[in-house]
Amino acid sequence: MAAGGALFGRVAGLSGALAVGLGAYGAHGFRRSDRDDYLKELFQTANTYHYLHSLALLGVPHCRKPLLAGSLLTSGMAMFCGSLYYQALTGDPRLAKAAPLGGTLLIVGWAAMAL
């Protein structure tokens, strides 16, 4: 396995662990708070995409361009999920414009896995 592939295998593990931790927080702390339903929905969306793309990172070492695909997926997760988590937790929409760019990077990352 190439060095880039091994790196993204580790990133997948760390990202998955973080997704589980945030999911637990969402289920036991955040959801039971007095936050509005929209913010709770944003958190759930971020967490779902976080889980799915953590799993996708496990496939990165097996594609032809692991550094490209892994970098795109990781950047996309950070921008998409990160901006949604931030808004859900703070109520501050300043980073909301990063979500569409992050989503685009996720799409391109999946396409890069097909190269």
Give the separation between CA 74 and CA 11, rounded to whole angstroms.
8
Tally of domains in the chain: 1
Average pLDDT, the chain: 92
The pLDDT of residue 36 is 86
Instruction: For residue 24, give its domain range.
Output: 3-114
**Cα Dmax for the chain:** 47
Share of the chain above pLDDT 70, in %: 94
- pLDDT of 54-106, one tens digit each? 999 999 999 999 999 999 999 999 999 999 999 999 999 999 999 999 999 99
71's tokens: 């970098």
Kindly tell me if the per-residue pLDDT of 1 is higher than 60: no
∠ CA 114-66-3, nearest 5°, is 160
